Chains A and B, each alone.
Chain A
Amino acid sequence: MAYDFNGTNQYLEVATAVANRPCTMAAWGYLDTTTGARDIVSVSSKTTTSVLRLNVNFGQYRIADQGNVNAVANGAIVSAGSWNHYAGVFASGSSRTPYTNGVAGAQNTTSVAAITPTVTSIGAWFEGTSNSIQFFDGQIAEIGIWNAALTAAEIASLAKGMTCDKVRPQSLVFYAPLVRDLQDARGGLAITNNNGATVANHPRVYA
C-alpha cells in the first residue's frame, strides 16, 4: 500500500541524508492534482540550500541539484489521476538526468558546487530551514535511493514494476516500499510520518 499525502503539510522524514552525488533516486507517484510544485523525494538540509530532489512543478516533472545554483533537468509532462514512475540520476555535480516512466529526459550538465544534505524527506523538502515546503498531493510508493548512477536499462526495469530491491541491490542504500508499513527495507532507518499521511492503494509492482 502506498502513502497518501494531502498536499498541505503531510510528509515522511528520515533524520539523515541517505546519499549524495553520485546517486539515483526513484519513486512511484500518483498526483491528485497538477497544480503547484510538489516534491516527491529529496535529500536536503535544514540549514543550507543543498538539495537533490524529484519534483513536479505544475505537471512538469523535473529534477534539481541545488548547490550554489539551482541546476534543473526536465522530464515529461505528467497528468493527475494515474501512477507514474519518476527517477533522477545525479551522476556528478555537472550531470543529472530525469526519467519519466523509464524514459530519459534531457540531461542537464550545469556545474554546481558540492552539497551537504542532512535529511531525507518524502513528499516535501527543506530549503535551508526547518520548514518543509512543496508538499506532495497524492500517493507515493516504492522509494529507492542508490549511491550510484543507475543505467537507463535499470531505470526502465523499475518503471515496469520491478521493486527497488531487484535492481542493483548492492548499491541500494534506502528502500521504502510503503506497503502499509513505514520501514526502510534496506537500511532499517526510521521513517517519521509527519501530520498523518495515510495508507492508500499500491502501484503495480512485481513484489
Chain B
Amino acid sequence: MGNSCNETIIVASYAKSAKESAISASHSACLAQQAIGASGATGATGVGATGATGLTGATGPSGGPTGATGATGVGATGATGLAGINGTTGATGIRGSTGSTGATGQQGATGEQGSTGIGATGATGIGATGPIGPQGSTGMVGPRGATGLTGPSGAGGGVGSTGATGSQGATGIQGSTGSTGPSGIQTTYATLTPRENQPPATAFATLDTRNSIAVLDFDDTTIENAIFLDIIPQFAILTSGLKIRIIWTATTATSGDCVWQAALERMTTDIDVDSFDTAASATATTNATSGVPNYTEITLTTIDSVAAGNGFRLKITRNATSASDTMTGDAELIAVEVRSAA
C-alpha cells in the first residue's frame, strides 16, 4: 500500500498539474481502499502530445462480500500527461507529378536539318517528406536527344564563276630558232586532166590510155601541146605568180630528162588569137620505172596579168627539140595542178 502512494507522490513531482492530479488520484485511491476502489480516472488524451497515463487505480480487496456498489468515485482530473512522443514519420508523400518535358534536344548534325530530338522524360521527382509530400521537383532536363538522321546530300553547287584573269606571266626565255617553215599556204586553184584538154589545131598531144587511165602523149621529136581552160578562183593570191605541177610518166623510158614548159593566157582579149605569156620551163629526170609518175613543178611568174576571177588558158608543152630533153619515147601527161606560189 505504502509503495503505491509513494509512487503517486513521485509521479506528481514531475509537474504541478500532474502532482495535483496524482494527489487527487492518490486520495481517491485511498478512499477506494476504504470502500471499493474506484478505477482511476483515465488520463486525458493528449492532444497532439499524448497525455501521461493516468494512475491505475488500486485493486480492491478480494474475497469480501460484494460490497455495495461504491459511489462512483470522482477522480480528480489527472495531471496533464507528458507530451506525447513525436508521431511516427508520415507516409511517403504522394509521388510528385511527372516532371515537365525536357528541353528540346540540340539541333541535329549538319546536313539537312535533323528532326527535332525529343527530350527524355525527366526523372521522377521525389516528394519531400511530410504528411503529404510536396510536389516533386521538376524532373531534370532529359538527356540530349539523339542526333537526327543525317539529311540527304545537298544538291551540287553551281559552277563557280570564272576566275579573274591571271596576271601576265613573266616574259619567257627566248626559244630556239625553229626549223624553216613551208613557203606559205599552198592552195590548189585548179586540177586538170587529159579529159579536159582542148587541143590546139596542130601540134597537139594525143589522147591515150594506160591501164585505163587517160593520158596525153607528148612526142619525143616533135613539140606538142595540150591546152586547158579554167577560171582563177576568187580567193587566189597571185602576187608571186603560180606554180604549175605536172604529173607525168614515160611510156617506155627509164632514164633521161624531159623538158616541160608552161604558159598562161588571160582570157580578156580576143579569143580568136592566141596570146600566151612567156613560158617557163623545168627539166626533170624520169623515174627508173616507166610507169611511176613524176611530179615536176614550174614556177610561173609571167602570168599575163591574170587576176582572181579571170578565165585563163594554160598551155603545157614538151620541148622535145631542146638539147636538154634526152628522154626517149613519149611522155605521158596524167594531170596538171595549178596552185599558189605565195
Task: Please indicate whether A and B come from the same complex rather than being unrelated chains.
Answer: yes
Interface residues of A (CB under 8 A from B): 1, 161, 179-181, 201-207
Q: Of A179, A205, A207, which is in contact with the most chain B CB atoms at under 10 Å from its CB? A: A207
B206 within 8 A of A: yes
- What residues make up the interface of B, taking CB atoms closer than 8 Å to A? 194-199, 201, 204, 206-210, 212, 214, 217
Residues A202 and B195 in contact, CB atoms below 8 Å apart = no
Residues of B within 8 A of A206 (CB): 197-199
Task: Give CA–CA (A206, B195) in the complex, Å.
Answer: 7
| Residue among A181, A202, A204 with the highest chain B CB neighbour number at 10 A | A204
A180 to B204, CA, bound (A): 18
Complex CA–CA separation, A180 to B210 (angstroms): 8
User: Of all chain A residues, which has the CB nearest B209?
Assistant: A180
- How many angstroms from the CA of A181 to the CA of B168 in the assembled complex? 71
Partner of A204, one of B196, B199, B208, B217: B199
Q: Which residue of B lies closest to A141 (CB)?
A: B207
A28 to B214, CA, bound (A): 19
Of B201, B206, B212, most buried by chain A (CB within 10 Å of CB) is B206
Chain A residue at minimum C-beta to C-beta distance from B214: A207
**Shortest beta-carbon distance, B168 to chain A, in Å?**
63
Nearest chain A CB to B8 CB, angstrom units:
170
Check B206 against A201 for contact (C-beta < 8 Å): yes
5 A-B pairs with the lowest CB-CB distances in the bound complex, closest first: A202-B206, A207-B195, A202-B207, A201-B206, A180-B209
- Roughly how many angstroms separate A205 CA and B212 CA in the complex, as a whole number? 18
What is the CA–CA distance of A181 and B210 in the complex, to the nearest angstrom? 9
B212–A181 touching, CB < 8 Å: yes
A143 to B: closest C-beta gap in Å? 15
**Beyond A161-B199, A201-B217, is A207–B208 a contact (Cβ under 8 Å)?**
no
B34 to chain A, nearest CB (A): 181
Known contacts A161-B199, A181-B212, A201-B217: does B194 contact A207 (CB below 8 Å)? yes
- Tell me if B209 and A207 are in contact (CB < 8 A): no
Q: Give Cα A181 to B215, complex, Å.
A: 13
CB contacts (< 8 Å) of B196 on chain A: these are: 207
Known: A204-B204, A207-B214. A181 touches B199 (CB 8 A): no
* A180→B198 CA distance, assembly (Å): 20
Q: Is the interface of A mostly helix, strand, loop or mixed?
A: loop
Q: Do B212 and A207 have beta carbons less than 8 Å apart?
A: no
Nearest-CB distance from A5 to chain B (Å)? Answer: 18
Residue of B nearest to A200 (CB): B206
> How many angstroms from the CA of A161 to the CA of B199 in the assembled complex?
9
Chain A residues contacting B195 (CB-CB under 8 Å) are 207
Given that A201-B217, A206-B198, A207-B195 are contacting pairs, would A179 and B212 also be in contact in the complex, using a CB cutoff of 8 Å? no
| Interfacial chain B residues near A1, Cβ < 8 Å | 206-209, 217
**Residues A179 and B217 in contact in the complex (CB < 8 Å), given A161-B199, A206-B198, A207-B197:** no
Residues of A contacting B199 in the complex (Cβ-Cβ under 8 angstroms): 161, 204-206
Complex: how many Å from CA A169 to CA B200? 25
Known: A161-B199, A207-B214. A181 touches B209 (CB 8 A): yes
A180 x B214 contact (CB < 8 A)? no
Q: Smallest CB–CB gap between A166 and chain B, Å?
A: 11
Q: Please give, as numbers and ranges, the residues of chain A lying within 8 Å of B210 by CB-CB distance.
A: 180
**Could you write out 5 A-B pairs with CB less than 8 Å apart?**
A1-B206, A1-B208, A179-B207, A179-B208, A207-B194
Q: What are the residues of chain B within 8 A of A202 when measuring CB–CB?
A: 206-208
Query: How far is B195's CA from A203's CA once the two chains are assembled, in angstroms?
Result: 14
Question: Are the CB atoms of A205 and B209 closer together than 8 Å?
Answer: no
The CA-CA distance from A207 to B195 in the complex, in Å, is: 5
In the bound complex, what is the Cα–Cα distance between A179 and B216 (angstroms)? 11
**Residues in B neighbouring A161, C-beta threshold 8 A:** 199
Report whether A180 and B197 are in contact in the complex, using a CB–CB cutoff of 8 Å.
no
Least Cβ–Cβ distance between A27 and chain B, in angstroms: 15
Which of A1, A202, A205 is packed against the most chain B CB atoms within 10 Å?
A202
Query: Measured between C-beta atoms, what is the minimum distance from A16 to chain B in Å?
Result: 25
